[in-house]
Amino acid sequence: MKKHLLLSILALSLAVLSGCGGQSTDTIAEIVKRGLQEQLEKKPSLKDEYLVVRDVAVVKEQGNRYRGIATIVFEGEAREIPIGITADGENVMFEVAPGAFLFIAEKRLQE
């Protein structure tokens, strides 16, 4: 079980498509926040961990690329994870960096 969780966490890469329409970084952050929460609730290896996305902050990097930091609450403790974001005016896609959720596996290994 722990090995399966670790492998799932290492492979975690999330993407969501949603209307963007040239919206602000605040709007993109809200789209990513909702999409990330939805994915965390659906992913079999993570849904029983009761992760909550408290906040997502987004800044524009260049062109249609953005960088974000998601604040995830896990067992009462806030963790920050980096997110890569692309928004083309119609869609928003995001990807969580590989290994971003290793803190869960580390916690489970300590138990």
The pLDDT profile of the chain, 111 residues, written as one tens digit per residue, is: 444 444 344 344 433 434 444 689 999 999 999 999 999 999 998 889 999 999 999 999 999 999 999 999 999 999 999 999 999 888 999 999 889 999 998 888 887
pTM of the complete model: 0.78
Bridging pattern class, strands 65-74 and 77-87: antiparallel
CA distance 83 to 104: 17
CA distance 15 to 97: 12
Residues 6+ apart with CB under 8 A from 88: 20, 64
| pLDDT at site 83 | 97
| pLDDT at site 22 | 63
